[in-house]
């Protein structure tokens, strides 16, 4: 595919890196010569210094032949205009824009982005996506990652195997025999920093991070099977009352009235504004690094501290301080990849990488074939993919044991007629099935081929 990316920041670089690895023809535009030089020196892409919404710059980047434009600059307005120009002047088929300002996304304004007005095919709101991820993590204590697929019927959970994990040193095939009514499949394992796709004879070891795909009704039982029976967080303290923090607090108020939320916001005017909009949450004005503020928030009795400020270092230190003051668990928002490696040694229970969340949302629209959802894991080493099987898909009608699947691909669950099917060697995929699988990045193209719309698509 020929793809133009407007914006060479963290998200733009991440998307360009992923797409270039898959042999796509990628051009990147940014006003910063420093960022463009860095991306030229690092990746096999073309870089252009200029304004992403200017016609002549888009023309230089090959807009006349582009299949897609992805606008992820820091300016919502530039992203919107870039998509408009790409449509009006160059007829680019697919236009994706990152929109951060929530005012643009209000339900009564959604017609703004229709083809008749401002033709943007896909809108990505990082704050909303990250907020949803935070809510999923809160709902599943004990999981270090959690994503839903197939109309929320199937869940991917990442589970750490601690010393008292009951399933270590047990061949995976025996787990199916011991728990035949449990719809859960281990599809990926990270051991000593190395990612692998396990076989049925492999065993889990203490310290492993297991990626498990399961029926949503079996998630709690699966976590318990791995020794994680942490209770639901009832008392939550949120550090940071920005867009993400407010979104999370508002959603908890609406969906889970039994949970008590306190927010610490440094900016006084922002604290007053969100206090006026929230009904039950307690809003405290001050720094989450101030021990007296944490004490005022009753951090010693809190079940969870969720650090969602715009500063990675503040989020990390807040999480560490909160746990030392008695908070039971911590979840931090961390952008910088080099900081993410130190979360475990510092006692931070889990973190969210907003860049990975945004990139995953964009990738599902880049993937060919009937790809419905994509989630990138382990810094892009693998993807969890939900794809719909069509009549022409080469895997339809054959037992899974007879499929020539790469070693880096494992099918975790099948969604058929609103039911979750546990895959076995004799299972046959039918047309219209939605298949959720784990695939190493090198095998993603093979997955696209398996779920192609027709033989002529490629």
* Position 454 confidence tier, pLDDT thresholds 50, 70, 90: very low
Instruction: Give the DSSP H or E segment for 20.
Output: helix 10-21
pLDDT in tens, 184-217: 999 999 998 899 999 989 999 999 999 999 999 9
pLDDT at 433: 94
* pLDDT on residue 7: 96
- Give me the long-range contacts of 432-435 (CB less than 8 A, separation at least 24): 432/388, 432/389, 432/390, 433/388, 433/389, 434/149, 434/150, 434/372, 434/386, 434/387, 434/388, 434/389, 435/386, 435/387, 435/388, 435/389, 435/411
Q: What per-residue confidence (pLDDT) applies to 307? A: 97
Containing 186, the helix (H) or strand (E) segment is strand 184-191
Question: Within 13 A of 281's CA, how many CA atoms are on the CB side?
Answer: 32
Contacts of 235 (CB under 8 A, 6+ apart): 259, 260, 298, 301, 302, 303, 304
Is 29 a residue whose pLDDT tops 50? yes
Domains of the chain: 2-124 (3.40.50.720), 147-226 (3.30.70.1450), 235-357 (3.40.50.720), 360-451 (3.30.70.1450)
Encode pLDDT of 39-72 as tens digits.
Answer: 999 999 999 999 999 999 999 999 999 999 999 9
The tens digit of pLDDT for each residue in 361-408 reads 888 787 765 788 889 898 888 999 999 998 888 888 999 999 888 999
- Give the model's confidence band at 456: pLDDT under 50 very low, under 70 low, under 90 confident, else very high: very low
């Amino acid at each position: 595919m020929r793809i133009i990316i407007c914006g060479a920041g963290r998200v733009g670089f991440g998307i360009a890196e992923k797409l270039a690895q898959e042999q796509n023809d990628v051009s990147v535009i940014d006003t910063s010569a420093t960022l463009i030089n860095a991306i030229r020196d690092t990746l096999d892409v073309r870089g252009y210094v200029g304004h992403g919404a200017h016609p002549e710059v888009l023309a230089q980047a090959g807009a006349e032949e582009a299949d897609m434009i992805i606008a992820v600059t820091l300016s919502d307005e530039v992203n919107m205009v870039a998509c408009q120009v790409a449509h009006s002047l160059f007829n680019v088929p697919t236009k994706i824009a990152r929109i951060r300002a929530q005012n643009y996304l209000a339900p009564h304004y959604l017609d703004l982005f229709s083809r008749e007005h401002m033709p943007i095919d896909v809108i990505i709101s990082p704050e909303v996506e990250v907020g949803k991820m935070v809510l999923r993590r809160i709902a599943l204590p004990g999981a270090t990652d959690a994503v839903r697929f197939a109309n929320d019927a199937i869940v991917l959970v990442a589970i750490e195997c601690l010393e008292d994990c009951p399933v270590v040193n047990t061949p995976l095939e025996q787990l199916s025999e011991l728990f035949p009514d449990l719809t859960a499949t281990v599809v990926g394992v990270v051991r000593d920093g190395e990612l692998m796709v396990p076989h049925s004879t492999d065993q889990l070891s203490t310290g492993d991070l297991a990626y498990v795909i399961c029926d949503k009704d079996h998630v709690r039982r699966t976590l318990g099977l791995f020794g994680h029976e942490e209770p639901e967080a009832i008392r939550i303290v949120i550090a940071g009352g920005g867009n993400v923090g407010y979104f999370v607090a508002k959603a908890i108020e609406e969906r889970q009235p039994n949970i008590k939320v306190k927010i610490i916001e440094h900016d006084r005017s922002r604290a007053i504004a969100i206090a006026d909009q929230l009904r039950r949450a307690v809003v405290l004005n001050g720094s989450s690094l101030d021990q007296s503020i944490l004490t005022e928030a009753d951090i010693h009795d809190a079940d969870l501290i969720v650090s969602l400020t715009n500063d990675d270092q503040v989020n990390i230190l807040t999480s560490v301080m909160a746990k030392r003051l008695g908070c039971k668990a911590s979840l931090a928002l961390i952008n910088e990849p080099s900081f993410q490696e130190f979360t475990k040694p510092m006692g931070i229970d889990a973190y969210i990488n907003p860049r990975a969340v945004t990139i995953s949302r964009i990738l599902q629209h880049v993937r060919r074939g009937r790809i419905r959802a994509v989630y990138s894991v382990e810094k892009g080493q693998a993807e969890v993919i939900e794809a719909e099987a069509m009549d022409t898909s080469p895997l339809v009608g054959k037992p899974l044991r007879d499929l020539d699947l790469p070693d880096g691909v494992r099918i975790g669950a099948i969604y058929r007629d609103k039911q979750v099917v546990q895959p076995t060697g004799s299972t046959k995929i039918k047309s219209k099935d939605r298949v959720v699988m784990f695939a190493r990045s090198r095998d993603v193209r093979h997955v696209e081929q398996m779920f192609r719309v027709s033989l002529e698509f490629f």
